[in-house]
Amino acid sequence: MLSRMADNLYWLSRYTERAENLARILHVAQRLAALPSAYAGASNEWESAIATAACAEAFKEIYPDGATRENVIRYIVDSPVNPSSIKACIETARSNARAVRTAITSEMWEILNEGWNEMRGIEFDGISQSALTQFLQRVQQMSLRFDGAAYRTMLRSDQYWFQRLGTFIERADNMARLLDVKYHVLLPEKEPVGGGLDYFQWSSILRSVNALTSYHWVYRENVKPWLVADFLILRPEQPRSLISCYLELNDYLDQIAEAYGRQGPAQHIARSTTARLQNANMDQIFQSGLHEFLVEFIEENNRLGGAITQQYLS
């Protein structure tokens, strides 16, 4: 297929996935910020939302006085100066989709186009709490439907594989960032078991990736920090865990390599990162530093993104 098309597909999936993750981050921040401080702790949820959304520096330039509910929501949802706002993600995804109409199915296009049309009808200035919550839900639904439409309607060929690569590179990146921002909450030393304060922080991490219920099914235990980290990094049963993302990435890269009859750096990087995740255990990770582990992972993931671009998309 055309390199430009593959590039568009890859990025439109990344932007759709990113929009969903941003919506989830805001959704959870709203929840946490609504708790009495005895439960949620004194930490500024809005600071951490900005950090997770990977736009802290740019944000500080505009709002040097720090993060508040209003300015964070504004910035992440529809700020014209934020190229990765939810609005910008949906705009970009939709215009990429428009440019590759032939490479996606009509269902996928209609979902994005509908989401975009709906978003255009919203006045974000002075948006009410309930309208905002509804919007964030719609964004998550749009991404879920888009994902489902891709899964159920796309031909299993390189178009599908590149679409998938975008989804999982972005998902892995977002998950690692989310964990990195919260890593101090997960550090085991500080943990007074069953303490109300951290409990809500830990469960908020799970909630922001829609994994709270499944956590209980897998561990049949109270929410514990090392188990949360284990679940979201190393457990292949959890579809958003780093290892899950990499098993998928490996699989799609292998299919591409097989179809094209050759491998390249992208396949090698994906394989070595997967192997590292498969051989890791949580004790080691905590000993050598969760933060360091995550920072390294994010770098490796970026390297894989670069290799995919170099090898196929340009």
Residues found near other proteins in the complex (CB under 8 A): 1-6, 95, 98-99, 101-102, 106, 109-110, 113-114, 117, 158, 162, 256, 260, 312-313
Of 44 and 141, nearer to other proteins (C-beta) is 141
Euclidean distance between CA atoms 80 and 134, whole angstroms: 21
**3-state SS, residue 35:** coil
Residue with smaller CB distance to other proteins, 220 or 262: 262
Q: Which is nearer to other proteins, 67 or 256 (CB)?
A: 256
Residue 11: CB minimum distance to other proteins, A? 14
CB atoms < 10 A from the CB of 105, how many?
17
Residue 110 or 254: which CB sits closer to other proteins?
Answer: 110
Which residue, 121 or 192, has its beta carbon nearer to other proteins?
A: 121
Instruction: For residue 61, give the amino acid letter.
Output: E
Minimum gap (Å) between residue 236 Cβ and other proteins: 28
- Comparing CB distances to other proteins, the nearer of 122 and 197 is 122
Sequence-ordered list of residues with C-beta below 8 angstroms from that of 234, at least 6 positions apart, any chain: 241, 242, 243, 277, 280, 281, 282
To the nearest whole angstrom, how small is the minimum distance from the Cβ of residue 95 to other proteins?
A: 7
- The CB-of-92 to other proteins minimum distance in angstroms stands at 12
User: How far is the C-alpha of 271 from the C-alpha of 63, rounded, in Å?
Assistant: 41
* Nearest distance in Å: CB 1, other proteins: 5
Q: 228: burial class by Cβ within 10 Å (0-12, 13-18, 19+)? A: buried
Spatial CB neighbours of 273, under 8 Å, sequence gap ≥ 6? 246, 297, 300, 301, 304
Q: Which two tokens stand for residue 313?
A: 């998309």
* 162 alpha-carbon distance from chain centroid: 17
Identify the burial level of 250 via C-beta atoms within 10 angstroms of its C-beta, where 0-12 means exposed, 13-18 middle and 19 or more buried. middle
> Which sign does the torsion angle of CA 220, 224, 230, 233 carry?
positive
CB of 104 to other proteins, least distance (A): 9
Residue 71 or 309 with smaller CB distance to other proteins: 309
Shortest distance, CB of residue 311 to other proteins, whole angstroms?
Answer: 8
Task: Report how far residue 135's alpha carbon sits from residue 14's, in angstroms, rounded to the nearest whole number.
Answer: 20
Contact 89, 174 (CB under 8 A): no
Residue 184 token pair = 């101090």
